[in-house]
């Protein structure tokens, strides 16, 4: 029987730990797949390259377009009501890729890094595709968040502070401040996209800060620093964000 073993590798803490641990405990010719949106920060692309070197195999990008391209095409920004970015840039491209592989392989095992302590969370379910079998090793091993971080620390693996898009409606005020401070060019692009589409990434009324990035920047320029800026830490003191995982 022809088989393909695929590790869905967003590059966040869970998928990174899963890929490395599987290579140790169940070595085989895995195919590592990521679904970049084109809006990741440079350190995220560097992390994917370094991880591929460590695993001894380059990570295969499955691309369904870019965030900028979709924003321009739809003349709209994704928001909490219409999270089309994840569906169109991650879920649908990965599904299409699996369907292509199902024409070549009789059995495809897709490994996803959902932990044992997040039972209510469902990963992308693709086992309706002929030959596809979903596996969640962390749940099989009983691994929770602390197990993942301890393993990464043991292996001296550093996860980038941002593993998702640089511009996301979910991100915190502190993360917008970090983007403005560290990547002013990307912040300026997001500000221009708000002007072009007539919408904002941040939801109006979400907090007492301005929703529009232009007004938010003006507040930042006066010296206001939101709580949590440059301090998005996990329980081990490492930077952490709510990654848009595959």
Q: What is the pLDDT of residues 141-189, one digit of tens each?
A: 999 999 999 999 999 999 998 898 999 999 999 999 999 999 999 999 9
pLDDT of residue 230: 64
CB 201 within 8 A of CB 85: no
Cβ-count burial of 17 within 10 angstroms (0-12 exposed, 13-18 middle, 19+ buried)?
buried
Average the pLDDT over 96-111 and give the result: 96
Q: Model's pTM, two decimal places?
A: 0.87
Lowest mean pLDDT among 41-45, 105-109, 181-185, 238-242: 238-242
Class of domain 3-154: alpha beta
pLDDT band for position 14 (50/70/90)? very high
Report whether pLDDT(237) > 70.
Answer: no
Q: How far is CA 7 from CA 18, 75, 82, 109, 135, in A?
A: 8, 34, 28, 8, 10
> What is the tens place of the pLDDT at every residue in 125-145?
798 999 999 999 999 999 999
Handedness of CA 67, 73, 79, 84 (dihedral sign): negative
CA distances from 156 to 20, 54, 149, 151, 153 (A): 12, 12, 10, 9, 5
Q: 124: pLDDT confidence band, cut at 50, 70 and 90? A: low
At residue 183's C-alpha, the angle toward residues 234 and 13, to 5°, is 30
Instruction: Provide Rg for the chain, Cα atoms.
Output: 19
Say if residue 24's pLDDT is above 50.
yes
Alpha-carbon distance of 117 to 66, in angstroms, equals 32
Give SS3 for 237: coil
DSSP one-letter string for 62-97: -----HHHHHHHHT----SS--HHHIIIIIHHHHHH
Token reading at 108: 């495809």
User: How confident is the model at residue 229, as a pLDDT?
Assistant: 81
201-231 pLDDT tens trace: 999 988 899 999 999 999 999 999 998 786 5
55-92: pLDDT as tens digits: 999 999 999 899 999 999 999 999 888 889 999 999 99
């Amino acid at each position: 029987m022809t088989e393909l073993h695929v590790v869905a590798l967003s590059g966040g803490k869970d998928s990174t730990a899963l890929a490395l641990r599987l290579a140790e405990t169940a070595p085989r010719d895995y195919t590592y797949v990521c679904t970049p949106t084109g809006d990741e920060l440079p350190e995220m692309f560097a992390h994917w390259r370094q991880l591929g070197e460590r695993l001894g195999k380059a990570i295969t990008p499955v691309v369904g377009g870019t965030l900028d391209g979709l924003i321009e095409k739809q003349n709209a920004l994704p928001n909490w009501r219409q999270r089309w970015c994840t569906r169109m840039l991650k879920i649908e491209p990965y599904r299409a890729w699996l369907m292509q592989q199902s024409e070549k392989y009789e059995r495809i095992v897709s490994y996803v890094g959902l932990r044992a302590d997040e039972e209510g969370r469902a990963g992308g379910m693709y086992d309706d595709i002929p030959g596809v079998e979903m596996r969640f090793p962390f749940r099989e091993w009983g691994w929770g968040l602390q197990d993942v971080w301890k393993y990464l620390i043991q292996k001296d693996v550093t996860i980038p502070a941002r593993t998702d898009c640089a511009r996301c409606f979910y991100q915190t005020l502190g993360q917008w401040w970090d983007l403005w401070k560290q990547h002013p060019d990307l912040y300026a692009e997001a500000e221009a996209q708000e002007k072009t589409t007539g919408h904002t990434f941040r939801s109006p009324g979400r907090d007492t800060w301005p929703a529009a990035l232009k007004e938010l920047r003006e507040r930042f320029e006066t010296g206001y620093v939101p709580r949590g800026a440059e301090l998005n830490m996990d329980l081990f003191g490492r930077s952490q964000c709510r990654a848009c995982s595959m």
